[in-house]
Structure 1
Amino acid sequence: MIDLQLLRNTPEVIQASQAARGADPAIVEQAQAADVSRREALTAFESLRSQQKAAGDLVKKATPEERPAAIAAASELAARVKEAEALSKQRAAELDELLMKIDNVIIDGIPAGGEENFVTLRTHGEVPQYDFEPRDHLELGEMLGAIDMERGTKVSGARFYFLRGVGARLELALMNLALDKAMSNSFVPLITPTLVRPEIMSGTGFLGEHSDEVYHLPADDLFLTGTSEVALAGYHSGEILDLGEGPLRYAGWSTCYRREAGSHGKDTRGIIRVHQFNKLEMFVYTSPEEAEAEHDRLVGWQEDMLQALGLSYRVIDVAAGDLGSSAARKFDIEAWVPTQEAFRELTSTSNCTTYQSRRLKTRFRGENGKTEPVATLNGTLATTRWIVALLETHQQADGSVIVPEALRPYMGGLEVLQPITKK
């Protein structure tokens, strides 16, 4: 939810942000009008309530002869107060509904436009070259006995899979390497719920225009999370945090679920775009003044991971029109996938400023002693999709795959994944 003072004092900033996102700026004027109506209704209610109090005092002081008229006047005011209170609540609800539809205000300097209008900030590593025809990750995974898409589809349908043998070990190794990385940087590990209440899902901004991506269990009115960001954002909802010793950092390990609505025909081969995967997500609560610096730190830790795994990548500044509703800025890191001859997203990290905390009523006590909304940030530190880039980047002509040195301690010292079938 946006800052109400920003709406009142500088609505043009919100309008410009909406336009840069490709969203409708007209909703800003609608919200302004709703705010005026809410304040007018609240003023009228408070005025009538004051009159009601005065009328009650008159009843107490009235003589027996004056009492019936005083009671009648107080009763009439009581009815009007009740109506005014109902109208005030209605106007407040109407304003909240509009505010919930306005996306987070983007940070100055991010690129305008859509998905293709990102800006490359930097690249790392050379594009790998091979003296043989490289195999894609699924062919390699099948040769290694690491990925079984056929049985995943048999059991659960399209875009499901089994990781088996060295595939399962590889994912666990990635996640544990990421967990150690996170803990070395003051993150508290959490294994999070993957079912959350509607108010938590909505509070993080995932029930807006992309709600069709989310699995819903109507009988329980619970939502399956597509990232542990949701549960981590709800972890301190309704609380006042102590940031006296710096940011609160959490590393959430969870299985994630996404419907992938609208992606029919895209990345149907292998495990690039699937309905279920595991992820270690960094989540930070910090002061708004520290949020941009913390954002850079999150990206730095992600780059450390990718460099340790020997992957070539680029860091991009995502354009406004490609941001989720809660992100004010997002950096993606995309690794080179040899058989696609393209960079593909492996990590995202978003600065959500105070957008989520306003919805979830999460605050901290500032230096002046007053409470104010806290800033929230999130970023991926490891996920199942990384296996795609790992297998393809480190493959050899015979279908074997070299295990990056950083992962070997987590795989019992295994240095090379050997095929169990020949192709």
Structure 2
Amino acid sequence: MLDIRFVRASPEVVKADLRKRNDLEKIAWVDDLLLKDARSRELKVETDQLRQRRNTIARDINAVKKAGKDAKPLMAEAAALPQNIRDCDAEQEEIRNSVRSILMRLPNILHASVPVGKDDTGNVEIKKVGTPKTFDFEIKNHGQLAVEKGWADFERATKTSGAGFYFLKGNLVLLDMALQRYAIDLLVQKGFTPVIPPYMINRTSYEGVTDLDDFEKVMYKIDGDDAYLIATSEHPIAAMHQDEIFEEKDLPLRLAGISPCFRREIGAHGIDTKGLFRVHQFTKVEQFVYCKPEDSWRIHEELLLNAEELFQGLGLPYRIVNICTGDIGTVAAKKYDIEAWMPREDAYKEVVSCSNCTAYQAVRLNIKVRDKSDFESKQHVHTLNSTAIATSRVLRAILENYQQEDGSVIVPEVIRPYMNGREYL
């Protein structure tokens, strides 16, 4: 969320950003927030004064009594003080909760380079890499091919778990695991520490990493428990250091999350109905970084380059788009997507999301870094995340882009060492 000190100092910046996002309803929230915040600070002063008076009034009563004067007014004041303090505390707590609720629902401040647009049609292509291959035969649907080859079973997964799930089998299991190791090895070489996080986290932690108003509809809640299945390893990894203070020497901290991801969202009818592209459960290797604020924009570009290196190694044509104001969501200050070429749809489809969340998550989670030149000075860290490889989407891209007329599939060369040297599936 935004730091209340920033909103106090720059309300017009916040309002201008909301106009960019076409989130006009929330502009009035800013004024309401500032009024509530001002009242909260007034109440704190009043409460502090009441507590101070509570500490001194007994002495004043004794002094009045010793002087032979009437102490009843002071005694009445003393009797009323505890309730007055409780009333002030209650009002302040109510206002404080309201202030936090508004702050939690205001989006991050966008970087100046984010294009303005109403929806995904406003996303701006940055570059294309690779030339889409032309085929002189009709490519099979990747799901159909996987079933025919005995590499996946969607029907039985529907029977056991419902639509949007799958059994992965044989060669696709090996390829899925090879893609994970390929991504992990590259990230380890670049200084990332592999992390397998918990696959469930509690609501407080989830509220710290994302806007639950937006995200809760795609998440799985565990009935009877304060727990959600994670939608990405970014979420538990971001919450891992909540309420902690980093030393400058420990940043940037680069982590590579490896986990299954669980989401309610699912592909539309048609090409995604029996396939691996948009499903309820998939495996992902995720880049996550905690860093000092002055380093985050450089590191954002580094994360994108890491993801590009992975897809260039796989030989998959792709493009990069700068996500516009109407498509970026609440948490990121800037986001790139990498979209891989999917020949059956004759279109680029998202395979990587790369975001700089600046201090937005760190403010919610209370994660700071101490200034090495001033021990008492602290500021919120910046957090960044980027897909390295979401295996189910890359499996689809490989099955389509490397498909041969006889139904075999070429294994990308960089993956072969993880497949015991196999060249074809």
Deviation at 1:60, TM superposition (A): 6.2
Report the AA paired with residue 388 of structure 1.
Answer: R
Question: 336-345 or 14-23: which moved more?
Answer: 14-23
Change (3 A) 1:245 1:216: closer
Cα 1:56/1:252, change in 2 over 3 Å: farther
How far the C-alpha of 1:210 sits from its partner, in A, is: 3.1
Output aligned runs, 1:262-411, within 5 Å.
265=269, 267-367=272-372, 368-369=374-375, 370-383=377-390, 384-411=392-419
Contact 1:143 1:399 in 2 (8 A): no
1:194 aligns with 2:226: no
Distance 2:221 2:305 in 1: 35
SS in 2 for 1:397: coil
Q: 1:298, 1:379 within 8 Å by CA — same for their partners in 2?
A: yes
2:112 alignment partner in structure 1? 108
Q: Distance in 1 between matches of 2:263 and 2:134?
A: 34
TM superposition shift of 1:88: 1.4
1:94 partnered with 2:98: yes
Match of 1:213 in 2: 218
Among residues 39, 52, 55, which one is paired with 2:54 in the alignment? 52
Shift of 1:122: 1.0
The question of 1:84 aligning with 2:88 is answered: yes
Shift of 1:179: 0.7
Q: Which moved more, 1:179-188 or 1:69-78?
A: 69-78
Aligned partner of 1:420 in structure 2 is none
Judge conservation of contact 2:47–2:85 (CA < 8 Å) in 1.
Answer: yes
Structure 1: tracts of 5 or more residues without a match? 418-423
Output the TM-score relative to the length of structure 1: 0.94
Counterpart CA distance in 2 for 1:130 and 1:210 is 39
1:132 aligns with 2:137: yes
Q: Which amino acid aligns with 1:268?
A: T
Structure 1 position 207, deviation (Å): 0.7
Tell me, in whole angstroms, the C-alpha distance in 2 between the residues paired with 1:61 and 1:380: 71
SS at match of 1:8: helix
Looking at structure 1, the residues matched to 99 and 108 of structure 2 have their Cα atoms a distance apart, in angstroms, of 16
Structure 1 counterpart SS, 2:31:
helix
- Which of 405, 414, 423 matches 1:415? 423
Given the alignment, which residue of 142, 146, 162 partners 1:141? 146
Q: CA RMSD in A?
A: 1.8
**Are residue 19 (structure 1) and residue 27 (structure 2) matched?**
no
Q: What amino acid sits opposite 2:35 in the alignment?
A: A
Return the alpha-carbon distance in structure 1 between the equivalents of residues 84 and 211 of structure 2: 40
> Per-residue deviation at 1:241?
1.1
Deviation at 1:340, TM superposition (A): 0.5
Question: Which residue identity does 1:27 align to in structure 2?
Answer: W
Rounded to whole Å, the distance in 1 between the matches of 2:145 and 2:177 is 18
Alignment of 1:187-266 (within 5 A): 187-260=192-265, 265=269
Structure-2 change in CA distance of 1:224 and 1:63 (3 Å): same
Q: Distance in 1 between matches of 2:62 and 2:241?
A: 47
Equivalent-residue separation in structure 1 for 2:114 and 2:225 (angstroms): 40
Q: CA deviation at 1:61?
A: 5.4
TM-aligned CA distance change 1:395 to 1:60, over 3 Å: farther
Equivalent-residue separation in structure 1 for 2:59 and 2:383 (angstroms) = 49
Give the partner amino acid of 1:145. Answer: G
Give the 3 Å change call, closer, same or farther, for CA 183–67 of structure 1 in structure 2: farther
- The alpha-carbon deviation at position 227 of structure 1 amounts to 0.3
Contact 1:196–1:222, Cα closer than 8 Å, also in 2: yes
Distance 1:121 1:133 in 2: 31
User: Could you say if the C-alpha distance between residues 67 and 363 of structure 1 is closer, same or farther in structure 2, counting changes exceeding 3 Å?
Assistant: farther
Q: Secondary structure at the match of 2:335?
A: strand
Q: Match of 1:382, SS?
A: strand
Report SS of the residue matched to 2:125: strand
Please name the residue that 1:421 is paired with: none
Q: Give the equivalent residue in structure 2 for 1:75.
A: 79
Query: Residue 169 of structure 2 corresponds to which residue in structure 1?
Result: 164
